[in-house]
A and B are shown apart, each in its own frame.
Chain A
Amino acid sequence: MDSSLETAADREQLRRVVIDPVSRVEGHGKVTLLLDEDDHVREARLHIVEFRGFEVFIQGRPYWEVPVMVQRLCGICPVSHHLAASKAMDRVLGIPVTRSAEKLRRLMHYGQILQSHALHFFHLSSPDLLFGFESEVGKRNIVGVAAAYPEVARQGVLLRKFGQEVIRATAGKRIHGTGSVPGGMNRHLAVEDRDALRAEIDHMVEWSRAAVELVKRLHRADPALYDEFGRLRANVMSLVRADGAMDLYHGALRFRDADGKILIDKVPDQSYRSLIREQVKPWSYMKFPYLQQLGPDEGWYQVGPLARVQNCDFIPTPLAEAERREFIDHGRGEPVRATLAYHWARMIEMLHAAETIRDLLGDGDLLEGALLADGERGSEGVGIIEAPRGTLIHHYQVGGDDLVTMCNLIVSTTHNNQAMNTAVREVARRYLDGRKLTEGLLNHIEVAIRAYDPCLSCATHALGKMPLVLELADAGGEVVDRVVRE
């Protein structure tokens, strides 16, 4: 692990620069930089300053309430939590989900991927990429993009709207719907919704292709920046379908090392605990997961589009697969490691989502067929899904009285915690060190964080398990009392 800028030795003597809040991300986080008198960066940390409590207040609630309650973690990707919880509860109930129910859930999920990726790229990140990191801050936003590139902004807004409509048609609401239930779904797709979506889907595929082209143009225009900015070596993790295909709804876990070699493959979702451990650091509410067999220093990993596009063997839709091949070729035999390549990978996934939605909309199982099945009840279940930001893990135990007794959530952004911190340090070292700090220079740090599309609200759901150290110091800085809660 690159910990060289994690904690400075003489922190009290250093000047503190804070980016608070980090903007154009979901949730609340801040970055602190400690600088010496020559403006050299000595410490850089991404802190997550939210504190929530889902894992605890889900305990004691009936299991059938969980997919609806837990999605309130987030307003951007509630579908991911809704479905991950449903998948875990399918396991608890021992129910193999029916064909219709799984296809409806997939449609909902790919709608979610489409809208979230469009939101992130067009609304949150495109201002940096189109105008430059140090461009005039007043215009560096979606309104500025709409003024300078009206067609780009229009397509971005409409892509997101389409994804939201897919969610509404399958979940009942654009945000926080209730379509998925433990063991299946509670609704089919209405014919009129299917027809309305089909009328627009070809545009969505076309505009998603245009978005991939836009990112490629940006890479071609400034390869020095796009290939180098925030470049880092990291292991990657994602779900992969049994045949090696990208599958964002279901699969087994695969890890690759920083050289692209498969380290671990075909680990069933129910066994995630045999692979992953979480480390706690005193300066952040967000945990640091790592691959147990490599330990915390070497075992941290990336998730999300950059990981997924390179972790799978192929993408099972033709346009996105062609783009994946071009992306892989860009690495010239090496994994693509540049932080800004997240955007490229994300747009390839958006194209894949649009193609998948187009294929699904032609499937009659969405309109009819059994939605619920029976099964043999168990007491524990894990549900893993590839959320827009990466691998999302929900794990529950349910008592014989139907109440949840244990809940563990590892959300996508949490997996990326160390990678984001490493990217922040890399950028701080390369672009900020020794220079007079300006808003534009500090925005470089935010650009690196933003590339991961972090959802800090989701990432800080934990309560009750957080170890806490409380120190009482006198005026001279001497610690006079210390309380530790493990």
Chain B
Amino acid sequence: MGGKFLFDGQPVPFEEGQTILQAARAAGHYIPHLCWHPDFPPHGSCKLCIVKVGGRHVSSCALPARDGMEVESNTPEINGERRALLQMLFVEGNHFCPSCEKSGNCQLQALAYELDMSSARFAHFYPDRPVDASHPDVLLDFNRCIFCELCVRASRDVDHKGVFALTGRGIRKHLVVNAESGRLADTDFAVGDRAADICPVGVILHKRVGFALPIGERKYDEASISTVAMEKGE
């Protein structure tokens, strides 16, 4: 049974089984997200899509909509919390946008612009994360991983290969490749895999392409991430 809820004061209809995020998007309301992807079940890990319902923080990608809910999303308080999450992601890894080939196509960068993040705020961790260039067609630059597990899910659930996994806990969590050597070249990963094109940041990169498309003419250079998400459904 569907119904309606209030999203930042505006009525939003929903169908039974839709999450807050899905119903809001269908009604033209953008909610920031990183680990959520329209083709995959909710993951609820990045917390960028948090909204307030009845005074409680919830992941809008995971919580089913209910009739009569009052949802707060685009408020200074919630956006401030989202910005803090982004800042933590930026300092946890090594995100050097000026020479990153994903610049302009990167959702982390685009969200930082969307949410007016103007500084890193916290001290950088500068983790030591060597790249894996062993595969002939794809480079893994772990410096930029945000642990969204989209590659893990795509490789496991779509490609049926299980090439990637997260390991370690808390601050020591990191992305690994499922091979005894730990090298991508020693898996059956292929450049045509869904996992090769799913990364929202600059970890999984097709080799030797780099800056073939000029910066300034890329997806989020031309329109904000909210516009791209709502107009193209990405």
A251 to chain B, nearest CB (A): 26
Q: A209 on the interface (CB 8 Å rule)?
A: no
Q: B211 on the interface (CB 8 Å rule)?
A: yes
Q: B131 on the interface (CB 8 Å rule)?
A: yes
Interfacial chain B residues near A186, Cβ < 8 Å: 211-214
For residues 115 through 134 of chain B, which have their beta carbon under 8 Å from a beta carbon of chain A?
130-131, 133-134
Chain A residue nearest to B215 (CB atoms) is A178
Q: B181 on the interface (CB 8 Å rule)?
A: no
A123 to chain B, nearest CB (A): 25
Contact in complex: A64, B98 (CB < 8 Å): no
Q: A157-189 toward B: CB 8 Å interface, digit per residue (1/0)?
A: 000000000000000110011110110001100
For residues 279 through 316 of chain A, which have their beta carbon under 8 Å from a beta carbon of chain B?
none
Contact in complex: B210, A402 (CB < 8 Å): no
Contact in complex: A64, B214 (CB < 8 Å): no
Q: Known A64-B101, A65-B101, A69-B99; judge A401-B134 contact (CB<8 A).
A: yes
For residues 8 through 28 of chain B, which have their beta carbon under 8 Å from a beta carbon of chain A?
none
Contact in complex: B214, A68 (CB < 8 Å): no
Selected contact of B133 from candidates A69, A72, A176, A401, CB within 8 Å: A401
Selected contact of A181 from candidates B99, B207, B210, CB within 8 Å: B210
Q: A62 on the interface (CB 8 Å rule)?
A: yes
Q: A34-75 toward B: CB 8 Å interface, digit per residue (1/0)?
A: 000000000000000000000000001110110111001000
Interfacial chain A residues near B98, Cβ < 8 Å: 68-69, 72, 176
Q: B209 on the interface (CB 8 Å rule)?
A: yes
Q: B208 on the interface (CB 8 Å rule)?
A: yes
Interfacial chain B residues near A61, Cβ < 8 Å: 131
For residues 344 through 403 of chain A, which have their beta carbon under 8 Å from a beta carbon of chain B?
372, 399, 401-403
Contact in complex: B208, A68 (CB < 8 Å): no
A43 to chain B, nearest CB (A): 40
Contact in complex: A172, B131 (CB < 8 Å): no
B221 to chain A, nearest CB (A): 10
Cα distance A179–B134 when bound, in Å? 28
For chain B, the bracket of interface size reads 10 to 19
Contact in complex: A178, B139 (CB < 8 Å): no
A379 to chain B, nearest CB (A): 14
Interfacial chain A residues near B55, Cβ < 8 Å: none
Chain A residue nearest to B208 (CB atoms) is A64
Cα distance A60–B213 when bound, in Å? 23
Contact in complex: B214, A179 (CB < 8 Å): yes
For residues 127 through 160 of chain B, which have their beta carbon under 8 Å from a beta carbon of chain A?
130-131, 133-134, 139
For residues 389 through 428 of chain A, which have their beta carbon under 8 Å from a beta carbon of chain B?
399, 401-403
Selected contact of B214 from candidates A65, A187, A402, CB within 8 Å: A187
Contact in complex: B133, A65 (CB < 8 Å): no
Interfacial chain B residues near A187, Cβ < 8 Å: 214
Contact in complex: A181, B211 (CB < 8 Å): yes
Interfacial chain B residues near A67, Cβ < 8 Å: 211
Instruction: Label chain A's interface by main secondary structure.
Output: loop
Contact in complex: A62, B210 (CB < 8 Å): yes
Contact in complex: A62, B99 (CB < 8 Å): no
Interfacial chain B residues near A179, Cβ < 8 Å: 214
Contact in complex: A172, B216 (CB < 8 Å): yes
Contact in complex: A402, B215 (CB < 8 Å): no
Interfacial chain A residues near B139, Cβ < 8 Å: 62, 402
B233 to chain A, nearest CB (A): 28
A244 to chain B, nearest CB (A): 35
Cα distance A449–B101 when bound, in Å? 38
Contact in complex: B130, A60 (CB < 8 Å): yes
A37 to chain B, nearest CB (A): 50
Chain A residue nearest to B99 (CB atoms) is A69
Contact in complex: A402, B133 (CB < 8 Å): yes
Contact in complex: A403, B214 (CB < 8 Å): no
Interfacial chain A residues near B205, Cβ < 8 Å: 62
Chain A residue nearest to B134 (CB atoms) is A401
A184 to chain B, nearest CB (A): 9
Cα distance A174–B210 when bound, in Å? 20
Contact in complex: B99, A68 (CB < 8 Å): yes
Interfacial chain B residues near A178, Cβ < 8 Å: 211, 214-216
Centre residue among A68, A173, A178, A402 by max chain B CB count within 10 A: A178
For residues 153 through 212 of chain B, which have their beta carbon under 8 Å from a beta carbon of chain A?
205, 207-212
Cα distance A173–B221 when bound, in Å? 13
Q: Known A72-B99, A401-B133, A402-B133; judge A65-B215 contact (CB<8 A).
A: no
B234 to chain A, nearest CB (A): 23
Additional pairs, 14, CB under 8 Å, beyond known A173-B216, A186-B211 = A62-B133, A62-B210, A64-B210, A65-B99, A65-B101, A68-B99, A176-B98, A178-B216, A179-B214, A182-B210, A186-B213, A186-B214, A399-B133, A401-B134
Contact sample, A vs B, 17 pairs, CB 8 Å cutoff: A62-B139, A62-B210, A64-B209, A64-B211, A68-B101, A68-B211, A72-B98, A177-B215, A178-B215, A181-B210, A181-B211, A181-B212, A186-B214, A372-B212, A402-B133, A402-B207, A403-B133
**CB-CB nearest 10 A-B residue pairs:** A64-B210, A69-B99, A401-B133, A178-B215, A172-B216, A178-B211, A403-B133, A68-B99, A186-B214, A172-B214
Interface residues in chain B, defined as those with a beta carbon under 8 Å from any beta carbon in chain A: 98-99, 101, 130-131, 133-134, 139, 205, 207-216
